[in-house]
Amino acid sequence: MNIIIIGCGKVGKKLVEQLGAEEEHNITVVDSRYPLVQEITAEFDAMGVVGNAMTVDTLTEAGVQEADIVIAVTGSDEQNMLACLMAKKLGNCGAIARVREPEYNRAAHLLKEDLGISMVINPELAAASEIARVLRFPSAIKIDTFAKGRVEILKFRISENSVLDGMRVSNIVARLECDVLVCGVERENEAFIPDGSFVLQSGDLISIVSSIRNAALFFKKIGFKTHRVKDTIIVGGGNMAYYLAHQLLDTGIHVKIIEQNQKRCDELCQLLPKATIVCGDGTDNRLLLEEGLETAESIVSLMNIDEENILLSLYAQSKTKGKIVTKINRIAYGDVITRLDLDTTVYPKNITADYIVRFVRAKKNSIGSNIETMHLILEDKAEALEFRICENSPVANITIDKLKLKKNILIACISRGQKVIIPRGRDTLLPGDTVIVVTLKAGFQDISDILE
C-alpha cells in the first residue's frame, strides 16, 4: 500500500517503523522541518517531502493521487483535519487524523461523516481509557480488551512465595479451578508463548487471557486484590488528566488533581466539579504527603516531563502500597524504563500507533481481512489479534488440534455470541466466532496467516 504520513514527530516515526520497516508498505513522510524528514529517510526506507501538507503542491508531490491512506499526526489538530480534508479532495484515499482537544473529540462523529475522515484517534483519551481499566483492576500491570470488552488479557508479576511459583502451565486450571489461559511470559529479556510444560517462576511477568468474571476469580485464588481503587491522586492537569478523571468519577472513584498552573486549575474546577483540584507543584514531596500520598490507593503521574513522572513514581513507591501509573512520552528509552520496575507505564504515542496500524491492516485487504482488534503485548515482542471467522475461512469447522499452526502461535480465546471459551484441542472454530490469536510474528492480516 502507498501511505503518506504527515508529521515526523515521535508518532510519525513510530508509524514509519511499524508500517514501513516491519510491514513493508511504501511510505512517504511530509513535514515542514527538513532535519526531521532527513532523519527518518536516512534511518528507514521511506520517501520524504519537505513542505506544508495543507497545500495542493506539497500533497501532489507526496503522491496523494496514488495514495491508499493519508495519516496526519502533526502537533496541530486543525492542521491534521485540514490535511485529511485536502487529501480526500485530491485523491481517493482513506484519511486518519490525530485529534487531541476535548472540544474536537466531542464532535468526532461529525468529523468522520462531514469531512470524510476514516478514523479520528485521540491519544490522550485512548491512554486515559487504558489507565482507567487498570485502576479498576489494580493487581494487573496492563489490561487489553477484546470481544467488545468481554475478554481481557491481563499482565501481572508473579511474586515470591506465590502459588504459581514452580507450577507448570498445564496444571493451573486443575489446581486453581479457574478457566484462564497463560498466553505469554516475560523472563528477563526474553518473551515466550508457553506450552503446557512451561514452568513459571517468581519474578516472571505473565499475561493471561480470560473473561472478566474468571479473571477476578483467578486473582482471588492467587491472593491478589480484585477490587477497584477507591481514590486516586493525578499529578498533572492536562487533557489526559481531564479524560481520566471524567471516566473515574463516573464509576464512583474519588479524584484529586494536583496542577501547578492556576488558570488550568480554574478550568478544571469548571470542567470537573466533583473532583478535588489542588493548585501546587506535584513534584514537591511535602505537598504530596499533605495531600495524602501515603494513604492514596493509586497515584497517576501525568506531567509533561518524563523524568519528573519517573522520579515521582519512584518516590511514591517508597511511600505507599497503592497502584502507581506513569505516563512516558519518549519511546526510545523503553528498555531502560522497564528495568526500573515502575508498575504500570503508559505510552500514549505507542497506543496511537497501535490503533492506526490495526486500521491500516484492515484497509490493506478490505475483502478478506477480518482483524477486529489488535494489541501489542509482552513489551511489544508479541501481538494479540482478534479475527472474525468467515464462512469460507480455511480454519472454519476444524478442531484446533487438527490445524497445522506455525510455530509460536497460540489460539487463546474463542468468543461465540455472549459465550467466552478458553479453547482446548478438541474445540472447533465456527463461522461467526471471533478468535484471539497470540503470536511472536508480526504482520498477520487474516486468520489464514496462522497456518503453515
pLDDT greater than 60 at residue 366: no
Pairing of strands 26-31, 47-50: parallel
- For residue range 56-87, list pLDDT tens digits in order: 999 999 999 999 999 999 999 999 999 998 99
pLDDT-wise least confident of 52-61, 142-151, 331-340, 351-360: 331-340
Instruction: List, edge to edge, every strand of the sheet that includes 181-187.
Output: 142-146, 151-157, 205-211, 181-187, 190-192
CA distances, 157 to each of 61, 215, 369, 384 (Å): 50, 15, 35, 19
Q: Calculate the average pLDDT of the chain.
A: 89
Alpha-carbon span 288 to 291, nearest angstrom: 5
Paired sense of beta strands 119-121 and 344-346, if any: unpaired
Q: What pLDDT sits at residue 239?
A: 93
The reply to whether 231-321 and 367-450 are identical in fold is no
CA 415/CA 150 separation, integer angstroms:
8
Whose grid coordinates read 512451561? 198
**From CA 20, how far away is CA 110, in angstroms rounded?**
31
Q: Return the closest-CA partner of residue 448 out of 364, 390, 377, 408.
A: 390
Domain at 367-450: CATH code: 3.30.70.1450
Cβ-contact 296, 322 below 8 angstroms:
yes
Distance separating alpha carbons of residues 129 and 150, to the nearest angstrom = 16
Q: Give CA–CA dist 178/181, Å, rounded.
A: 9
Which class is domain 127-221?
alpha beta
Question: Nine-digit cell at 248?
Answer: 473515574
Q: What pLDDT is attached to residue 363? A: 67
pLDDT tens, position by position, 381-436:
888 989 989 888 899 999 999 999 998 899 999 999 889 999 988 999 999 999 99
161 — phi, psi (to 5°)? Answer: 65, 15
Segments making up each domain of the chain, as ranges: 2-121, 127-221, 231-321, 367-450
Residues 44-51 have a mean pLDDT of 94
Quote the pLDDT of residue 369: 47
Predicted confidence (pLDDT) per residue in 147-205, tens digit: 888 899 999 999 888 999 999 999 999 899 889 999 999 998 889 999 999 999 999 99
Confidence of residue 93 (pLDDT cuts 50, 70, 90): confident
Q: Which CATH number fits the domain 2-121, given the four candidates 3.40.50.620, 3.30.70.580, 3.40.50.720, 3.30.470.10?
A: 3.40.50.720
- Helices 239-250 and 123-136 pack at an angle, to 10 degrees, of 40
Q: What's the mean pLDDT in 128-144?
A: 91
Identify the CATH number of the domain defined by range 231-321.
3.40.50.720
> Is a pLDDT exceeding 70 seen at residue 253?
yes
